[in-house]
Amino acid sequence: MNFTLEKSKVAKKSSIQITGSKSESNRLLLLQALYPEIQLNNVSNSDDSNLMIKALASSEEVVDIHHAGTAMRFLTAYFSIQEGRETVLTGSKRMKERPIKILVKALQTLGAEISYIENEGFPPIKIKGKKLLKHKVSLNANVSSQYISALLLIASKLENGLELTLEGEITSVPYIKMTLALLDAIGVTSLFEGQVISVKPNTKKATVKSLTVESDWSSASYYYSIVALSDIGTEIRLSSYKSNSLQGDSVLAKIYKHFGVSTVFQEDTVVLSKTESNEIALKLDLRSAPDIAQTIAVTCFALGMSCDLTGLHTLKIKETDRLVALKTEIKKLGGNIEITDESLHLKPSNTIKDYVSIGTYHDHRMAMAFAPLALRVPIVIEEAMVVSKSYPTFWDDLESIGFQINK
């Protein structure tokens, strides 16, 4: 269903409760399957986390994880060590286009039995779970960090642990560090030095009984954009966040200073407020925070700023080719935008066309990144419920702060 967002204005002060990080939740859900004594609080209510919960509880042969990339990658590793179990792991049409060969090859090197059902290198795959006896493997680290996290998550349950050698430039590094920090939190020892990560085997129980997931910073990005496009003095409070986050997207606090958004932590609440800003151009390398590229590009466009974003090589294999999708939709709005295989360049423009119908391409972040434009012009968001992949209550939350949405 398409939603029309009339030109809106947000309340001067408002509060939003976002649920747990999808990335932290999907890691911890897998770790909970390996260490059942762990209890989790504030787990993400996203479709992707619900699919992860369902998949881990399923005893069916076919497990369908729809659009959930982390679930696809993490479960490939998980089912590889479920001795005696045969699983077919499949997903949506787009999932069948998202590469998985680097991970499958690494698992096969460790001894896993995995075969391709349709196209070599892509889901669906058939996994015969068994004990993996090898512990050393090298893999290309420049395509997706999810392959590395997947291996690290099962590493402590391998007989000799794991020694991973990362080849090439390591992409999305904070997500790898998040995985290692969560392993550390349950008592698993690891070391990340240069291009090598090693994880010790662990036959003991987890050293903690319960863990609380921090709320999702990628979801917070849309409120950063909303505050950036609002009047000076506008304030939005988001809970439950930490200043020492494991999520790389918490770099938003630093980045949005360029747009006049200040971030203050008050206990577990983060307070965003709009202040003066005179910046007219932004240059950023986003290889550590790819999921906020769409939000930032749209904020710059709305503010009539020029922007050069680099380090975007992973965007082509996400829910859609996000570089092409951004170019197509920003051009429809009247923007002057160019892209390469790893970058995006936006020239300043001072008009935005109204009632443009924004295509979302089965990508939650296309819908959410363009929504703040309703603070400038009326806009239509196609297939608006795609947001449920990471943030099911997004539209209700936007209405609660003043957005006028015709559903």
Ligand X SMILES: O=C(O)C1=C[C@@H](OP(=O)(O)O)[C@@H](O)[C@H](O)C1
Ligand Y SMILES: C=C(OP(=O)(O)O)C(=O)O
Binding residues for 3-phosphoshikimate: 22-23, 27, 144-146, 172, 291, 318
The interface partner of residue 68, options being ligand X, ligand Y, none and the CB cut-off 5 to 8 Å by kind, is ligand Y
Structure tokens at 167: 């080849």
Site for ligand Y in 40-69 (CB under 6 A): 67-69
Q: Is 360 in the site for ligand Y (CB under 6 A)?
A: no
Q: Which of 308, 48, 34, 326 is nearest to 183 (CA)?
A: 34
Q: Distance between CA atoms of 333 and 340, rounded to whole angstroms?
A: 20
Q: Which of 35, 76, 30, 34 is nearest to 52 (CA)?
A: 30
Write down the catalytic residue from 291, 321, 363, 397: 291
Q: What mask of x and - would describe binding to ligand X in positions 13 to 42, judged by CB under 6 A?
A: ----------x-------------------
Q: Is 21 in the site for ligand Y (CB under 6 A)?
A: no
Whether residue 47 lies in the annotated active site: no
Q: What mask of x and - would describe binding to ligand X in positions 145 to 184, judged by CB under 6 A?
A: xx--x---------------------xx--x---------
Counted residue by residue, the chain has a size of 407
Closest distance of CB 144 from ligand Y, Å: 8
Q: Which residue, 149 or 234, is less far from ligand Y as judged by CB? A: 149
Q: Is 144 in the site for ligand X (CB under 6 A)?
A: yes
Q: Distance between CA atoms of 116 and 111, rounded to whole angstroms?
A: 16
Q: Which of 9, 6, 23, 100 is nearest to 292 (CA)?
A: 23
- 135 vs 2, 160, 366, CA distance in Å? 50, 6, 40
Q: Is 291 in the site for ligand X (CB under 6 A)?
A: yes
Number of neighbours of residue 111 by Cβ within 10 angstroms: 15
Determine if the peptide bond prior to 372 is cis (ω within 30°).
Answer: no
Check if the beta carbon of residue 192 is closer than 8 Å to that of residue 177. Answer: yes
Contact positions vs ligand Y (CB under 6 A) = 67-70, 291, 318-319, 365, 390
Contact positions vs ligand X (CB under 6 A) = 23, 70, 144-146, 149, 171-172, 175, 290-291, 314
Q: List the catalytic residues.
A: 291
